[in-house]
């Protein structure tokens, strides 16, 4: 066994600029998807608890469909369906267009998990809170926005953190939507240098640098914002 080749970290050093650029792509898409998925997930949650039956059915259908559909298929639909078949374009620049196609696919997918977490958070809010809101004349939308949702968010910060960590790791499959990021670079380096342990370790450490701080932040936030019962 050639240990010099097995423990050769020079491919990582020789591609530092590409590594930083690739992981920056993961960071950009993670932040954008994180924001959009929370916004969409909040709207879907509101639909699921709405007094209007049609909205409840639509919200439930959305969550059940997306949660049981592989992310790869969602991204393929965005890439082949929206882009190639329907000629949907956000930008004339291919890189920007592929970025937003990946963002759309990951956002609608992650939003289903955000919505399920938030619905669980709403279930932790005492019924008396909603009844008190109605008693003082608040509408459903007002009570949801000012009374129920703030408490629901505080109750599910830790589960939302887990959803965000899973989302960051899911960015490794956005190559399906033709967007180039860290996992794509790792594949190229495996083809160029061989599937060596140093390359694998380097990329694993890179993703740990993204996920571990995210987990620590959400754990800290959950303790700080915990709802006293």
Provide the pLDDT for residue 86.
72
CA atoms within 13 A on the CB side of 93: 4
Provide the pLDDT for residue 82.
76
Tokens of 167: 């989302």
Contact of 37 with 224, CB cutoff 8 Å: no
Provide the pLDDT for residue 59.
94
E strand intervals along the chain: none
Provide the pLDDT for residue 229.
52
Tokens of 19: 């590594």
Q: Over the stretch 69-89, which tens digit does the pLDDT of each residue have?
A: 999 899 888 887 777 777 777
Write down the mean pLDDT value for the chain. 86
Provide the pLDDT for residue 4.
57
Return the minimum-mean-pLDDT range out of 48-62, 118-132, 173-187: 173-187
Contact of 30 with 210, CB cutoff 8 Å: yes
Q: Over the stretch 112-170, which tens digit does the pLDDT of each residue have?
A: 999 999 999 888 888 888 788 888 888 888 888 888 888 888 889 999 999 999 999 99
Radius of gyration of the chain (CA): 21
How far apart are the C-alpha atoms of 84 and 22, rounded to whole Å? 25
């Amino acid at each position: 066994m050639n240990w010099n080749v097995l423990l050769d970290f020079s491919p990582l050093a020789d591609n530092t600029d590409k590594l930083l650029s690739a992981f920056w792509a993961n960071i950009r898409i993670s932040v954008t998807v994180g924001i959009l998925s929370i916004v969409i997930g909040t709207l879907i949650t509101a639909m699921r608890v709405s007094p209007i039956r049609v909205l409840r059915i639509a919200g439930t259908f959305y969550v059940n469909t997306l949660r049981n559909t592989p992310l790869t298929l969602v991204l393929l639909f965005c890439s082949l369906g929206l882009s190639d078949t329907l000629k949907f374009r956000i930008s004339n620049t291919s890189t920007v267009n592929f970025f937003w196609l990946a963002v759309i696919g990951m956002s609608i997918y992650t939003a289903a998990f955000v919505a399920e977490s938030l619905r669980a958070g709403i279930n932790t809010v005492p019924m008396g809170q909603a009844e008190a809101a109605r008693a003082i004349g608040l509408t459903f939308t007002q009570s949801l926005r000012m009374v129920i949702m703030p408490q629901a968010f505080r109750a599910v910060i830790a589960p939302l953190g887990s959803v965000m960590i899973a989302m960051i790791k899911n960015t490794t499959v956005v190559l399906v939507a033709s967007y180039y990021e860290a996992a794509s670079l790792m594949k190229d380096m495996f083809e160029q240098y061989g599937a060596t342990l140093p390359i694998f370790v380097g990329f694993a450490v890179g993703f740990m640098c993204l996920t571990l701080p995210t987990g620590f932040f959400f754990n800290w936030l959950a303790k700080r914002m915990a709802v006293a019962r």
